[in-house]
Structure 1
Amino acid sequence: MSDMGRQDLSSKASAALKPDSEKSYVEQASDSVKGALDSVASAVQPQQEKSTTQKIGDAVTGDNTNRHLA
C-alpha cells in the first residue's frame, strides 16, 4: 500500500490545532495548498491502495469521495 502524495495524520492534526491567527501568511498558504493536494490525492487514490490510517483519516476529514471504489 502506498500513501505517496498524501499528508500524514500528525501533519494534518498539527495544522488544524494551531489557530490561523498564530500562523504566518506563508504557513496559512502552505496549509491550504497541502490540504487541497491531499484532497485530490485522496480522490484519485483507489480505496484498496490506501493504508488503514489513511482510510481512517479520510473518513474523519471527509476526504473519502471514492469510497465506492473499494
Structure 2
Amino acid sequence: MSDMGRQSLGDKASSAIKPDSEKSYIEQASDSVKGALDSVASAVQPQQEKSTTQKIGDAVTGDNTNRNL
C-alpha cells in the first residue's frame, strides 16, 4: 500500500487548524495547491491500494470519490 503523492493526516490537520487570517499568501497558496493535488491523487489511487489511515482521511475529508473501485 503506497500513499505516494498524498498528504499525511498530520499535514492536513495542521493546515486546517491555523486560520487563513494568520497565514501568509504563500502558505495559503501552498495549502490550496497541496489540497488539490491530494484530491487528485485520492481520486486516481485505487481504494485497495490505500493505507487504512488514507482511507479514514479520505472519508473524513470527502475525498473518497473512487470508493467503489
**Same fold by TM-score greater than 0.5:** yes
Determine what percentage of the aligned residue pairs are the same residue: 90
Whichever residue aligns with residue 63 of structure 2, its letter is D
What corresponds to 2:16 in structure 1?
16
Q: Deviations over 1:34-57 (max 9, x none)?
A: 000000000000000000000000
What corresponds to 1:63 in structure 2?
63
- TM-score, normalising length: structure 1: 0.98
1:29 aligns with 2:22: no
Structure 1: which 5+ runs fail to align? none
What corresponds to 1:44 in structure 2?
44
SS at match of 2:36: helix
- Stretches (4+) displaced over 3 A: none
Structure 2: which 5+ runs fail to align? none
Alignment length (residue pairs): 69
What corresponds to 1:54 in structure 2?
54
Q: Deviations over 1:6-64 (max 9, x none)?
A: 00000000000000000000000000000000000000000000000000000000000
- TM-score, normalising length: structure 2: 1.00
